[in-house]
Amino acid sequence: MRLYSWNVNGFRAAVKKGFWDWFGSCGGDVVCLQETKVSPEQLSQSQREVQGYRDIWSSATVKQGYSGVAVFSATEPLSVQLELPRERFQGEGRLILLEYEQFYLANVYFPNGKMSQERLDYKMAYYDAFLEYAEELRRNKPVVVCGDFNTAHTEIDLKNPKNNEKTSGFLPMEGEWLDKFISHGYVDAFRMFNTEPGHYTWWTYRFNARARNAGWRIDYFFVSEELRDRVTSAWHEDTVHGSDHCPIGLDLDAR
């Protein structure tokens, strides 16, 4: 089963930059998108429906053109849940949970903490609430988590770690939460196959950063430990443009 995750930084903008060409050639069974910045009501059926796929959207209700996640799934999920169960974390369109026969798949756009201390506090609280939710799900079946975590885990996950030690996205508390997440039995799939520096998933549009590969790895696939042996490949498609992020992929033996 081939899974993809991509922060498209605006679905309609990505469509104008060749999204559907990429989609048609990627071979994904499930394609998860973050930061769609649109609700399905703003799109015609022809703009969002793909033959052979079910489209599912979770859009922000607190602000139009903000946040949002979507999934295109060739396999009909057993169930769909939008947003975390706690009311505090609803309304920003940050999570779609799909249940399949062998596992749960959580497509998540975690909050960005750069704007203010209030948003950083919200981000850290969201992290903890998500881990609690994932652990509850895991009592029933394994969990796959994908999306934009808005945090580079270690120094090899961004080009300039020393210059960003006091920047949200690489604060000690954020890296420590990822440590905690991993300690609960969630495996960073990309690092199963590649432990080298210089592999990023996001580049600022400024300073010619992408051409210089001055980026951050903040998009991930994690699998709960029970699925580790079923992961056959994980990769970044960093030559694919259309957003300031690139698509990331995971091949999973879901038999």
3-state helix, strand, coil split of the chain in percent (to 5) is: 30, 25, 45
**Token couple for 210:** 């992408």
Active-site residue, selected from the candidate residues 29, 148, 157, 244 = 148
Q: Are 32 and 69 in contact (CB under 8 A)?
A: yes
What is the pLDDT, as a whole number, of residue 254?
77
Which DSSP category does 244 fall into? Answer: S
C-alpha span between 187 and 172 (Å, rounded): 20
What is the pLDDT, as a whole number, of residue 45?
87
Q: Are 146 and 106 in contact (CB under 8 A)?
A: yes
- pTM for the model: 0.97
What is the pLDDT, as a whole number, of residue 255?
72
Per-run averaged pLDDT (10 residues), the chain, 255 residues: 98 97 98 97 91 97 94 98 97 98 98 96 98 98 98 98 96 98 98 98 97 98 98 98 98 88
C-alpha span between 19 and 158 (Å, rounded): 26
Is 148 a residue of the active site?
yes
